[in-house]
Structure 1
Amino acid sequence: MAEVLDRNIRISTRVKYALDEMRGTKSCNELIEQMINYFEVTGYNPRRPNIDSIQKIGRRIEDLIKIVKSQEKDIFRPLLDKSFSSGNMSMNNEQLVRLANEN
């Protein structure tokens, strides 16, 4: 069995309140152990914020926006134009599926 050492740490009242809110029914020891495991698994170091990861997420979001805009321009706009040019504003689902398959 692992040796258990009793240690005290000094924290501010605000941090204590936040810790109590986070831990719920767990003990402080369990919560801190989970935090340490999270840092080990994710590789995140709270002393050195990982700006690179934040920038990567931002680039991925921009890529998704580009994909959606491309689909709008290449797929949805031609479908809409065909439906308006045919003069039939109230197309049923079968006609929309047919137009989508054509494109």
Structure 2
Amino acid sequence: MSTDETKQQVLNQLTSILGIAPMSLGVGSSIPSEFFRTAATIVGVRQGSMPEICEAIVTKAGMPYDRKLFDSRETESGGGSTVTLEGMQALRSALKIVLTP
């Protein structure tokens, strides 16, 4: 997974893969929660926090999910329920798997 990408670039690719309107990152480069709710509905996983939805989609694709790398739940502060760039990159790979007929 490339670290030369930005969260916005990956978000642009994710919305394209899902066939939904482009979205912009929020304050502090946060991914809109609407994106995750929509992705969960399209893929058919349970609604939850952004990291929970990301994990559900990644594991549905049969891929391993690394909480320490992909989201903020394992940080000392709990991180405000965010998904990292690496988590978004894993989500992109997972969506390509689960959405391929």
Q: TM-score range by the shorter chain?
A: under 0.3
Pair member with larger Rg: 1
Q: TM-score, normalised by structure 2?
A: 0.27
